Amino acid sequence: MKSKMKIKIKLVESLWLLAMALFIVSCAKGVDDSETFSGGVTNAQLESPEEINFATTTNADGSENLKLSWSVVMGAGGYKVNVHNMNDPVNPVAVVTDSIIDGSSMSFAKLEDTNYHISVLALGNEKLNNTDAQTATEKDYKAFEAVATIHEGESLAEYVNDDMPDFDQNLEQCIVLEPGVTYQLDAIADFGMNAVTLRGDVENRPTIVIGTNGGLVTQGGLKIKNVNIDCTEMSAKGVISLSSTPSEALTTTSLGYQGGSLMADCYIINNPIILQGCNLKNVKNCILYDNGKKWGIRDFRIMNSIVQLDNSGANPIINVAGGGGVKDLTVKNSTIYNLSTKANAPFLKYSNAQPKKMFGDNDQTGSLTITNNTFSRVMSSYKFGDRIPNANIITVNFSYNIFHDVYQMYQAVVTQATRTTIGNTIFGVTKTTHENDTNRTDSNGRALATLENPNFVGSIDLEFDFTKTNGGVDFTPRGSVAIENKAGDPRWYE
C-alpha cells in the first residue's frame, strides 16, 4: 500500500528556453503573457496540466503552507484551482473556490492533519482562440496514508497490535480517538516501525488511562495530539518508550550514514516524536524513555501541553541516556510541574553523544530549544540537564521561561554551545542559591535568568484534574519582569 509521487522531467529544446526567458521578461515589463507564452498553440481545445506537485513551506510563526505547482499548458490563459478539505469525505469543505491563477503555482494555509483534494483546470485564451480544457487534473494530498477511529468500548492496544496496517516509514497513518471517551490501556500498544499520529479533539479531549501493564512503544515516530493521559497506575518507565528490540533496518549502517565518529550500533528514528496539546497526570517516571538502547532521535517535541509530574525517584523525565540522544529537542508553550521536591533525577538526561555519532558527518548540528514555558520543581533536588553534549555545533535557546524551584538550570545551557537566554526568571531554588543561574551568561553576555518571584495567582501543587480548566492549577505570574517579557506558558496570559 504505497503512494509515491512521480515528477516527470522533460528535456527542453532551445526554443522552449527562449520562450521561458521571454515569459520572465514579459512579466517584469507587464507584457501580456498570452502573446509570448503561446508556444505556437492556437485555435485549440486545451488539456489540463499533466501533473500536480506538492511542497510544504514553513512561515516565520511556525505555521505551514501547502504549495501547489503544475506543468505549464502552452496557449492557456490561466488556471482555475479548487481545493477541498477531505477529512470528512462525505462532507468536503471548500478551501479554495474557483481561484484564477495566472502562473503555474499557488499556496494556501495548510492545516495540521488535514487531507485535501485539488483540481486544476487549464483556461482558454481568447486572443489565441484557445478554449478551456474539458476536464480538470485532480489529485489528493494525504496527510495520512490511512485513518482509523477507535470507538468507545474498543481496545486501543488490540487495534495497534493486531489490526493496524504496516506501511513504509515515509507514510503516516492516523488513529482517531473519539471526543470525551475514556480508553483503558492495560497492555503495551506497540506501533512498531509505523509513523503514527494518535489524535483527539482539542475541544473535548479523550482520555487514555494507562494501567499497570500499559504503555506506548514506537520505533517509527509517534505524534500524540489533544489527548489526556492518566499515568497514575502506570508502572512502565516511559509514557512513550522506544523499542527494546530495534529493527536492524534502522541502524546507521543500514541507513547509509557515514562518518569517522559514527556509532554502527545506533538505531535511528527520523520521524518526529511529539506531544502536542496534551495533558498528562501523575507521571512518576519518564515521558520519553530509550529502554537503555542507543537510539538517535531526530526530532522530539513537547508543545502546548501541561504535564503534572509525581516524580520522587531516579528516572529522568526525558531519558535518552542509553548511548544515543536527541538531535533537535523542543519544549515550547507548556507547563511542567512536579508535586514532589525529592526527585533524584534531571529533567533532561542525554549520553554525551554528539549528533554526528548518530547521524554522520554530513548532519552534525543539534539544538535544544526551550521557550515560553513554566517549570515548577523540575527538578528541586537534581540538576535540570545532565550529559548534554557540550560542543559548538549545538545551539541552545532558553528564552522567556519561568523557573520555580528548579535546581541548576544552567547545567542544560552547555558552555561550548551557541547559547541564547532571553527573558527568563528564576526563584525559590531550595537546594542551593540562585546565583548559579543568575550570574552566568549566554553567548552575548545576557544573564541566564533574572531573580524574580513569579508570585503565581493560584494553587500550583494540585493533582491535575481533567474535568477542570487547565487542570485546576493556575500559574498566572504576577512578577513584573515575567509580565513585561510575557515569560512562561502563554496560556496563563489568556
Going by C-alpha positions, the residue among 142, 180, 206 that lies closest to residue 4 is: 142
Asked whether residue 367 is assigned to any structural domain, the reply reads: yes
Q: What is the CATH number of the domain that holds 52?
A: 2.60.40.10
Asked if residue 347 belongs to a domain, the reply is yes
Cell of 443: 553567548
**How do residues 467-480 score in pLDDT, each as one tens digit?**
999 999 999 999 99
pLDDT for res 213: 96
Residue 25 has pLDDT above 60, yes or no: no
The three-state secondary structure class of 370 is: strand
CA distance 268 to 359: 8
Burial status of residue 15 (CB atoms within 10 A of its CB: 0-12, 13-18, 19 or more): exposed
Q: For residue 7, is pLDDT > 50? A: no
Last residue of a domain, one of 122, 141, 160: 141
Q: How does the average pLDDT of the chain come out, rounded?
A: 91
In a domain, 187, yes or no: no
Residue 146 domain-assigned? no
Bridge partners of 137, per DSSP, are 120
The per-residue b/e assignment along 353-384, b for 16 or more CB within 10 angstroms, e otherwise, is: bbbbbbbbeeebbbbbbbbbbbbbbbbbbbbb
In a domain, 162, yes or no: no
Cis upstream peptide for 379 (omega within 30°): yes
Per the CB < 8 A criterion, the answer to whether 313 and 344 are in contact is yes
Q: Which of 296, 279, 108 is nearest to 202 (CA)?
A: 279
- Residues 33-52 have a mean pLDDT of 80
Q: Is 183 a member of any domain?
A: no
Total number of domains in the chain: 2
Cα–Cα distance measured from residue 325 to residue 311, given in angstroms and rounded to the nearest whole number: 22
Q: Rounded to two decimals, what is the model's pTM?
A: 0.81
444-454: per-residue pLDDT in tens? 999 999 999 99
Interval 82-90 mean pLDDT: 91
Give CA–CA dist 451/245, Å, rounded. Answer: 46
Domain boundary among 125, 141, 157: 141
How does 266-289 read in b/e, with b if 16+ C-beta sit within 10 Å?
bbbbbbbbbbbbbbbbbbbbbbbb
DSSP 243-281: -SS--GGGBTTTTT---TT--TT-EEE-S-EEEES-EEE
Q: What is the residue range of 413's domain? A: 274-286+297-493
Distance between CA atoms of 337 and 379, rounded to whole angstroms? 9
- For residue range 251-289, list pLDDT tens digits in order: 999 999 999 899 999 999 999 999 999 999 999 999 999
309 within 8 A of 285, measured Cβ to Cβ = no
Give CA 239 to chain center in angstroms. 18
Report residue 37's pLDDT band, with 50, 70 and 90 as the boundaries.
low
Residue 414 has a CB neighbour count (10 Å cut-off) of 19
pLDDT-derived band at 182 (thresholds 50, 70, 90) equals: very high
Which of 141, 174, 202 is at the close of a domain?
141
In terms of domains, do 280 and 136 share one? no
Going by the DSSP 8-state scheme, the letter that residue 299 receives in this structure is E
Radius of gyration (C-alpha) of the chain in whole angstroms? 26
Integer Cα distance of 277 and 189 in angstroms? 21
What mean pLDDT comes out for the span 140-160?
Answer: 92
**Consecutive H or E run containing 158:** helix 156-158
> If you search the block for the grid coordinates 511556525, which residue do you land on?
62
Considering the domain boundaries, does residue 488 fall inside one? yes
What does the DSSP assignment read for 199-220? Answer: E--SSS--EEEE-TT-EEEESS
Which tens digit of pLDDT belongs to each residue from 91-105? Answer: 999 999 999 999 999
- Tell which residue, 301, 426, 275, 462, has the closest CA to residue 367: 301
Same domain as 462, residue 318? yes
Beta bridge partners of 419: 396
Four-residue CA torsion sign, 36, 42, 48, 49: negative
Is residue 107 domain-resident? yes
Mean pLDDT on 66-83: 96
Residue recorded with cell 507584457? 31
